[in-house]
Structure 1
Amino acid sequence: MTDYASLGLQKLVRLTISPLTISPQAQTFSIVVITLAVGLALALAPFSMAVLLVSGSFFFILALIYPILYLYLLILIIPISSLLAIQVGGIRVGLMEVVLAMGLFTWLLKALAEPALSGQKLTIVTGPLAGPFLLLLGGLSLSWLITLSIGASLVETLKWVEMLAVYLYVINLLKPHQIKWVVIVILTAGLIQAGLGLYQFIFKAGPDGFLLFDGRFLRAYGTFAQPNPYGGYLGLVLPLTLALTIWLLTQNLVKPRDSQQSKLGRLLKLGLVSLPLAIMVAALLASQSRGAMLGSAVAGVVTLMVWSRKIALAMAGLALAAVMIGLISSFNLSLTPPIDSGDAGSPYNAIVQRVADAIEAVNVTDVANTEVTDANFATLERLAHWQAAQAMWRDNLWLGVGIGNYAVIYPAYAVGRWLDPLGHAHNYLLNIGAEAGLVGITAYLIFWILTFGLLWTVVQNNKGFYKAVAAGAIGIVTHLHVHNLVDNLYVQGMYLHVAVILGLASVIYLSNNQNPISRKV
């Protein structure tokens, strides 16, 4: 393996740099000069800068041999991508984009070098979702015909191009046995964000506007600047964590009990397995993001139902019972339990009140003339943007106003006092309908229907760890769409996180087709 990697690196250099004829004396002199220059630069640089240069150089050299390393780095950078970016010509570019470009470039070099090493033709695996990706891009691109801001359309279209690039990168470089390392990195990134959010929640480290429960706590926001995208990111990690926790607990429970292992030891082991899930759930609640909590609740139920038919039947029974109780109670009971005025600032009552306020505000029909309060402000603002998006779509039925152009066109459709375009409609289906019309939203729905079909196939054809990954992927996609009913999670790098998840599922799918025996791993 080492000889192959070394030979591959030599081929890469020969493919990109023409060989130079240099005398041995000149070579020795050049090496000495370069070594002295590097040593002097490291000696004069601050310690932190020197460590960064050395570690960065080491990673770069290692990644030339193992391009998949850029994937691990990309996953860790996604949550902090908004902190490490600048505006260049109206397009936000940061470390995430640089790492992605380096990973794709290194993969390209590797792909070009392998035919020279093996004598075989250049092959790039497209996977089961490349076609749906291209269909979606085609549908969105048609809206360019009437776009007002080409720059805004370019930014939004590039997100889906980047998703396709990451997807191809993953399925071409990642081997099935490496999936566990990618999953570990994803969970690590989620735990880091959860820990940071809980710190902000407990120690009130953040803006005064995020204070909760009479100033006792503060809404968690992690590195996302706002609680809603922070909760959205956790919601895109939690279903995978839940599925893996169920798998590990099942593994522990079905194994024959070791007579030498005490009952306390087993409980500690089960508790340790469940700890990451508990931390992330706590951080999600600390964000107080209603969209994230709703999305995670639905995603959790779907993940459990996908994992086990017995759980699915139990959930169906509970849902039926809940509907019956709701119908009976609707005759003489309030929709929400009464809130004790003496404990109005408790976390439970605060959550109930936020949900009740949202339900009450959603029933508003005249957004422009409704009195605005602290309780209904956020919900009324969303309703105003939903109405604006509907009006845009109605006036531009087939191709919309141009992908990415919602904020550009919004002033012409603003409702009442809600003049801030906010960047999107806070409902992605309405947003893409307004921007890309009936053609774009149809392509979008077809893409996700085919994606759900792929994920379901992977769940049905696998057991154990692979099934847990696929079930978690279904939960993640479920959260994405439920949360997107009140927001837009295709922001701050989270769309690349989704692309990585789709790539993992496709790697398992391709492995099943190549080696059916591995399905039951």
Structure 2
Amino acid sequence: MSTWSVALLGSLLALVLVLIAWPVGMVLASGVVFVLAVVRWPVLLPLGLILSVPLQDVVRFSFGGIAITTTQAFILLAILLGPLIVLRRPTRLFYPGIAVATTALIAIQVLSLGIAQNTLYAVATIYRWTAALLAFLLIIHLVESRRSVVVLGVGLVIAALGEVAFGTLQSALGLAPPSFAISGGWYRAYGTFGQPNPFAGYLEMVGLWLAALALWSARLAQRLWGRYRRVRLGGFLRSRSTRRAAIGATVLASVLVAGALASLSGIVLSFSRGAWLGTSAGLVTFVLLAPRRLRRSVLVVGAVIVGVLAIGGWSELPVAVRERVTQLVNYGRPFDVRDVQLTDANWAIVERMAHWQAAWAMFLDHPFTGVGAGNFSVRFPDYSPHPLFRIARGHAHNYYLHALAELGIPGLLAYLAVFALALLLAVRVWCTRHNEFDRALAGGALAVTTAIMVHNLVENLHELHLSMQLFSAWALVWRAQAGWGTKREAI
């Protein structure tokens, strides 16, 4: 861009800021700058879309009385600019199996509009899944270098640190609703997501993925320092480039480790039983993928921890932790809520089981069509087996039952197909690619997918655009399989 163009652009932005009232003028000026940046660097579009997820309820814009979240603004921008940018590029278009399965799931949701009692709820569900598909397609077409993935990783570290810092303040200072209170005067952290479970789900998706990249960057730093020690024998100046690369890899590894550890800390502070279970499943996936020697060491350490807990260490854990773990075990025992005397102690368990049984009843009445996308809460009063539970908590507390209730057998099969194809893709890349960075992306995606599949047994992690974060991990694995447009020797 020439000097005159920059001067003209600066003048126009200044006029916008002066003539249009704040904050609309600032928003428009920022939007213009970002659009121009996207035209110059298209990769900013999918990266901005993914990084906007934790900010969606923090920054809102109001136009004509309509409130638009940050993520919705990025989605609108992606819809308008994405096709134009992708179509004008010389590379051919791709539509992988994950996209096909997701399209089939969306098509089933669209067909369910005919039976949905509340069409707006159905459209909202379709919109969220379409946004996830859009993020997937933009990443596989516009993220063409490993360096862009590293930039995304650093951005996610910043997002994770911000979320956990905010969540820690909420937990320690009691900046939360009374219902989030737990033993010991602590409160469940919920960050910018409004609820502890989606907060923990987001950190699951981010933290496990960052952990995989952290392991890769740590090994890279180790190799580079070894190379530096050899090259250093030839002179200080001669080893300058290797030294810089080693320092850069060390700094990157430290940043990624900080993001991963912060995410795990936030998951603990959320006191989300489902997140604890899902994260454990993700960590087990890492252990299974680890080299044999490391895997044995981890198993030995795990056995020692179990032994310590068995001989009395369990009683030394904080009361809040022991209570949450005990409740998690109780949640796994099915029972008929109509045969239970409701008390303060079992209220949460009975409420969750009532949602499960209502979802199953919806499926039995509508096995092939369901009650319509997004309409579980609408139909819940008609199917709740307990007279005290007539208002749904938004979902069935088990996404597999939720899919059966809303979309029937075809919807569940399409949903499972999406995850099956994602797992197969990650396993294929892990087994066939020799580049450690690509294998790290595959390992991170495997851990994240496993964690979400387990966590979804007691939760719905496809709200609040969390699916965009999940689909981004899958898209990067597909990109690694297809090959990168720009390859860096250091990566």
TM-score (norm 2): 0.82
Q: Does 1:108 align with 2:91?
A: no
Q: Does 1:289 align with 2:272?
A: yes
Give the letter for the 1:402 counterpart: G
The separation in 1 between residues aligned to 2:285 and 2:467, in whole angstroms, is: 21
SS in 2 for 1:368: helix
Which residue is 2:397 aligned to?
426
Bigger Rg, which one: 1
Q: Write out per-residue CA displacement over residues 288-327 of structure 1, whole angstroms, 9 at most, x where no aligned residue.
A: 111111111111111332243545566678899999x8xx
Q: Write out per-residue CA displacement over residues 63-108 of structure 1, whole angstroms, 9 at most, x where no aligned residue.
A: 23333212222222211223456999xx995331221221232232
Which residue is 2:368 aligned to?
398
The separation in 2 between residues aligned to 1:200 and 1:302, in whole angstroms, is: 31
Which residue is 1:279 aligned to?
262
The separation in 1 between residues aligned to 2:15 and 2:110, in whole angstroms, is: 52
Which residue is 2:104 aligned to?
135
Q: Does 1:358 align with 2:328?
A: yes
Equivalences for residues 6-155 of structure 1 within 5 A: 39=14, 42-43=17-18, 52-84=27-59, 94-114=69-89, 123-155=92-124
Q: Does 1:203 align with 2:210?
A: no
Which residue is 2:445 aligned to?
473
Q: Write out per-residue CA displacement over residues 405-460 of structure 1, whole angstroms, 9 at most, x where no aligned residue.
A: 21111111012111111121010000001111111111221221111100111122
The structure 2 residue matched to 1:191, chosen from 161, 174, 177, is 161
Give the letter for the 1:67 counterpart: P
Give the letter for the 1:169 counterpart: L
Which residue is 1:496 aligned to?
468
Give the letter for the 1:230 counterpart: F
The structure 1 residue matched to 2:355, chosen from 365, 382, 385, is 385
Are the equivalent residues in 2 in contact too, given 1:358–1:379 (CA < 8 A)?
Answer: no
Q: Does 1:245 align with 2:214?
A: yes
Q: Does 1:235 align with 2:218?
A: no
The separation in 1 between residues aligned to 2:395 and 2:73, in whole angstroms, is: 26
The separation in 2 between residues aligned to 1:132 and 1:75, in whole angstroms, is: 21
Structure 1 residue ranges without an equivalent (≥5): 4-8, 10-30, 115-119, 341-346
The separation in 2 between residues aligned to 1:500 and 1:240, in whole angstroms, is: 11
Q: Write out per-residue CA displacement over residues 222-247 of structure 1, whole angstroms, 9 at most, x where no aligned residue.
A: 00111111111111111112112222
SS in 2 for 1:492: coil
The separation in 2 between residues aligned to 1:95 and 1:415, in whole angstroms, is: 39
Are the equivalent residues in 2 in contact too, given 1:511–1:518 (CA < 8 A)?
Answer: no
Change (3 A) 1:350 1:406: same
The separation in 1 between residues aligned to 2:75 and 2:160, in whole angstroms, is: 20
Give the letter for the 1:222 counterpart: G
Change (3 A) 1:83 1:272: closer
Are the equivalent residues in 2 in contact too, given 1:68–1:103 (CA < 8 A)?
Answer: no
TM-score (norm 1): 0.77
Coordinate RMSD, CA, aligned: 3.9
Give the letter for the 2:191 counterpart: G
SS in 1 for 2:184: coil
SS in 1 for 2:190: coil
Greater shift, 220-229 or 372-381, is seen at 372-381
The separation in 1 between residues aligned to 2:453 and 2:379, in whole angstroms, is: 24
Give the letter for the 1:440 counterpart: G
The separation in 1 between residues aligned to 2:350 and 2:40, in whole angstroms, is: 53
How far 1:256 moved relative to its partner? Answer: 2.8
Structure 2 residue ranges without an equivalent (≥5): 233-242
Q: Does 1:305 align with 2:288?
A: yes
The separation in 2 between residues aligned to 1:511 and 1:143, in whole angstroms, is: 38
Are the equivalent residues in 2 in contact too, given 1:82–1:492 (CA < 8 A)?
Answer: no
How far 1:281 moved relative to its partner? Answer: 1.5
Which residue is 1:20 aligned to?
none
Are the equivalent residues in 1 in contact too, given 2:193–2:199 (CA < 8 A)?
Answer: yes
Change (3 A) 1:275 1:36: closer
The separation in 1 between residues aligned to 2:16 and 2:488, in whole angstroms, is: 51
The separation in 2 between residues aligned to 1:338 and 1:183, in whole angstroms, is: 36
Equivalences for residues 410-449 of structure 1 within 5 A: 410-416=380-386, 417-449=388-420
The separation in 1 between residues aligned to 2:305 and 2:315, in whole angstroms, is: 21
Give the letter for the 1:456 counterpart: V
Change (3 A) 1:481 1:338: closer
The separation in 1 between residues aligned to 2:105 and 2:30, in whole angstroms, is: 39
Are the equivalent residues in 2 in contact too, given 1:390–1:434 (CA < 8 A)?
Answer: yes
Are the equivalent residues in 1 in contact too, given 2:377–2:395 (CA < 8 A)?
Answer: yes
Change (3 A) 1:519 1:450: farther
Are the equivalent residues in 1 in contact too, given 2:57–2:70 (CA < 8 A)?
Answer: no
Which residue is 1:6 aligned to?
none
The structure 1 residue matched to 2:132, chosen from 144, 160, 163, is 163
Give the letter for the 1:159 counterpart: R
Which residue is 2:192 aligned to?
223
SS in 2 for 1:278: helix
The structure 2 residue matched to 1:214, chosen from 172, 184, 197, is 184
Change (3 A) 1:337 1:411: farther
How far 1:520 moved relative to its partner? Answer: 12
The separation in 2 between residues aligned to 1:192 and 1:338, in whole angstroms, is: 32
Q: Write out per-residue CA displacement over residues 179-218 of structure 1, whole angstroms, 9 at most, x where no aligned residue.
A: 2222222232222212211222233323333233332x32
Give the letter for the 1:60 counterpart: V
Give the letter for the 1:276 counterpart: G
How far 1:395 moved relative to its partner? Answer: 1.5
Are the equivalent residues in 1 in contact too, given 2:206–2:260 (CA < 8 A)?
Answer: no
